[in-house]
């Protein structure tokens, strides 16, 4: 972790308990004591921002928080701003705006970056001070217009914060909501629209596979001072699949990781009937006996995996051999002889074709008319009995047909035959 402020380095580098702890609450909080959560957006690939601290444990005191940023999908982190800040990403990742969060008090300024947090410009003064609770931009993070949201503050003359001089709230009154809009097209008048030469391909894991593949994303060069523009569309990331290995799997439902033996171990429950999953009960999901399942959204290429001859021991596979890793049995798609389902279907068609051809030859060339009527009569009787057992009534069409075949002729032909 790199630091922009020495006050955020709260432990000695190299010690065993010197770790980065980030707040990862899934929902945005409200209230003055809320901690801004980890944040990223699909239109800004690789960029993640969070509030936390460095040390042995996570510290809930806002006075000990700093703001951190990663531009490579979380592999490396930098401390970019002092204290807890609230943040938002716009212009498809081309602009990041941050301001002191309300948990740290009142502010009348904000900071911004046009190169994914490498350098921060500001502070930019606002006309009034406020408790900033959130910063918003359009849902797709494409706009260059940001809105700082919060509540007004009151100048009580009892604080050393110079920003309170700009507070416009009144004593003995419920604080009113406050909104400040910032248009970076006007703020940065020398900004222009990027051209094609100002984009580059970037991979955050160039030497390793991540979720079963190598990904290359298109990103504006960090030293290009230009707008992506609202109309800009990120090119689909280039993907190269990797062969599945142990990193593409996690413990199956009903299993937990056993660090001592380096594998997933089945959980022994006191009441198995209460700890089941409905999709397993209905047969829609089949847990693997290996205790492994594929990590969600993984795209690795699965090679043929052979079932081990013995349970346990060194030949136990670390990939599921009985399922595809997603709850589907692989044994159902293969016959005992190893024939695939598609091959079996074609064999079935060939056999049925031969039987139909043989039956047609016997019917037209061997059997005489009396014998044909006798066979049709037997079939008709059997049909009526079967239909009666199922529904209590005959489902066969009725009519004065000379033989069974006329019952399945087109209606118009049957009417003509009756009229004659």
| pLDDT tens profile 136-164 | 998 788 889 999 999 988 876 555 567 77
Enumerate the H helices of 269-368 as residue ranges. Answer: 278-281, 341-361
Backbone angles phi, psi at 183, to 5 degrees: -105, 110
What confidence score (pLDDT) does residue 86 get?
Answer: 94
Cis peptide before 123 (omega within 30 of 0): yes
292, with CB counted inside 10 A (0-12, 13-18, 19+), is: buried
Instruction: Calculate the alpha carbon distances from 366 to 144, 216, 357, 403 in Å.
Output: 86, 71, 13, 18
What confidence score (pLDDT) does residue 324 get?
Answer: 81
> Pick from 8, 28, 209, 206: which is nearest to 102 by CA?
28
CA distance 239 to 216: 7
What confidence score (pLDDT) does residue 256 get?
Answer: 87
CA distance 225 to 80: 20
Q: What is the pLDDT of residues 78-122, one digit of tens each?
A: 999 999 999 999 999 999 999 999 988 899 999 999 999 999 998
122 by DSSP, 3-state: which?
Answer: strand
Range among 14-23, 51-60, 381-390 rated most confident: 51-60
Enumerate the H helices of 118-274 as residue ranges. Answer: 184-187
> Cβ distance 170 to 156 under 8 Å?
no
> Cβ distance 102 to 113 under 8 Å?
no
CA distance 101 to 91: 22
Instruction: Give 8 or 169, the one with higher predicted confidence.
Output: 8
Q: What is the pLDDT of residues 83-94, one digit of tens each?
A: 999 999 999 999
- Mean pLDDT, the chain, rounded, equals 77
Name which of 114-128, 283-297, 327-341 the model is least confident about. Answer: 327-341
What confidence score (pLDDT) does residue 380 get?
Answer: 67
Phi-psi region of 260 (alpha: psi -120 to 50; beta: other; left: phi over 0): alpha
Helix%, strand%, coil% for the chain, nearest 5 = 25, 30, 50
Q: What is the pLDDT of residues 213-254, one digit of tens each?
A: 888 888 899 888 888 888 888 777 777 888 888 888 889 888
308, with CB counted inside 10 A (0-12, 13-18, 19+), is: middle
Q: What is the pLDDT of residues 183-216, one digit of tens each?
A: 998 888 777 889 989 999 888 887 788 888 888 8
């Amino acid at each position: 972790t790199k630091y922009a402020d020495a006050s955020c380095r709260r432990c000695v580098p190299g010690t065993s308990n010197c770790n980065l702890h980030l707040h990862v609450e899934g929902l945005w909080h409200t209230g003055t004591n809320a901690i801004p959560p980890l944040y990223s957006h699909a239109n800004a690939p690789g960029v993640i921002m969070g509030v936390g601290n460095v040390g042995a444990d996570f510290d809930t005191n806002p006075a000990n928080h700093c703001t951190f940023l990663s531009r490579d999908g979380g592999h490396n982190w930098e401390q970019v701003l002092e204290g807890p800040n609230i943040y938002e990403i716009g212009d498809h990742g081309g602009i990041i705006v941050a301001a002191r969060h309300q948990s740290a008090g009142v502010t009348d300024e904000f900071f911004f970056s046009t190169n994914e947090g490498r350098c921060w410009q500001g502070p930019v003064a606002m006309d009034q001070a406020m408790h900033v609770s959130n910063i918003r931009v359009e849902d797709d993070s494409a706009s260059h217009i940001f809105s700082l949201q919060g509540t007004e503050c009151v100048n009580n003359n009892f604080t050393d914060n110079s920003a309170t001089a700009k507070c416009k709230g009144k004593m003995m009154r419920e604080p009113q909501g406050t909104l400040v809009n910032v248009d970076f097209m006007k703020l940065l008048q020398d900004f222009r629209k990027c051209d094609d030469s100002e984009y580059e391909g970037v991979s955050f894991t160039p030497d390793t596979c991540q979720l079963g593949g190598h990904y290359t994303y298109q990103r504006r060069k960090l030293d290009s001072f230009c707008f992506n523009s609202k109309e800009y569309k990120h090119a689909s990331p280039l993907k190269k699949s990797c062969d599945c290995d142990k990193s593409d799997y996690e413990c199956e439902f009903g299993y937990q990781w056993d660090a001592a033996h380096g594998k997933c171990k089945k959980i022994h429950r006191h009441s198995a009937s209460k700890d089941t999953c409905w999709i397993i009960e209905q047969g829609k999901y089949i847990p693997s006996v290996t205790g492994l399942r594929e990590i969600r959204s993984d795209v690795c290429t699965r090679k043929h995996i052979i079932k081990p001859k013995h349970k346990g021991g060194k030949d136990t596979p670390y990939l599921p051999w009985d399922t595809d890793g997603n709850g589907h049995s692989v044994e159902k798609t293969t016959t005992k002889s190893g024939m695939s389902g598609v091959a079996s279907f074609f064999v079935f068609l060939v056999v049925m074709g031969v039987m139909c051809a043989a039956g047609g030859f016997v019917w037209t060339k061997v059997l005489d008319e009396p014998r044909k009527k006798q066979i049709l009569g037997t079939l008709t009787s059997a049909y009526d009995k079967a239909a009666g057992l199922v529904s209590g009534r005959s489902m066969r069409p009725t009519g004065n047909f000379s033989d069974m075949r006329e019952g399945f002729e087109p209606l118009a032909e049957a009417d003509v035959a009756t009229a004659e």
